[in-house]
Copies of this chain bind each other. A is one copy, B any other.
Amino acid sequence: MPNYFVETTKAVSVLPINSRPKFFAFGIPSYTNLGDQAVSLASRKYVEAEFPEFQYIEILEDDNDQGIEAVKQIITSQDIVSFVGGGNMGSLYTDHESARRKVFATFVNNLTISFPQSIHFEETAQGQKELQLSQEAYGRNPHLYLVARDGQSYHRMQTIFKNRVLFTPDMVLYLKPRDFHFKRSGALFALRRDGEKVVSDNLIVAMKNLLNDGQRAIKQTDTVLDTVDRITPVTREKLFDHELTLFAHQEMIITDRWHAMVFSALTGTPCLLFGNSYGKGKHAYIDWLEHVNWIDYTDETDPKRLEDTINRLMVSEKHDFDLGPDFGQLHDLIARHLNTMK
Interface residues of A (CB under 8 A from B): 150-152, 154-155, 158-159, 164-165, 167, 279, 282-283, 286-288, 290-291, 322-323, 325-326, 328-329, 332
Contacts and interface: CB of A to CB of B under 8 A. Distances in A.
A322 B288 CA distance: 25
Contacts of A332: 164
A267 B329 CA distance: 34
Contact of A286 (B151, B288, B291): B151
Contact of A325 (B152, B159, B326): B159
6 contacts: A151-B167, A152-B290, A155-B291, A165-B329, A167-B167, A283-B286
A230 B11 CA distance: 70
10 closest A-B pairs by CB: A151-B287, A158-B325, A167-B167, A151-B151, A158-B328, A159-B325, A158-B326, A286-B286, A155-B326, A165-B328
A322 to B, nearest CB: 8
Contacts of A282: 286
B288 A155 contact: yes
Nearest to A284: B151
A288 B159 CA distance: 12
A316 to B, nearest CB: 17
Given A151-B151, A279-B290, A283-B287, 19 more contacts: A151-B286, A151-B288, A152-B287, A152-B290, A154-B287, A154-B326, A155-B291, A155-B323, A155-B326, A158-B326, A159-B322, A159-B326, A164-B328, A164-B332, A165-B329, A167-B167, A282-B286, A283-B286, A287-B287
A120 to B, nearest CB: 12
Contact of A154 (B164, B167, B291): B167
Nearest to A323: B155
A291 B155 CA distance: 10
Contacts of A291: 152, 155
Interface centre among A165, A167, A279, A290 (most CB of B within 10 A): A167
A290 to B, nearest CB: 7
A154 B291 CA distance: 13
A97 to B, nearest CB: 21
Contacts of A288: 151, 155
Given A164-B332, A167-B167, A332-B164, A287 B155 contact: yes
A281 to B, nearest CB: 13
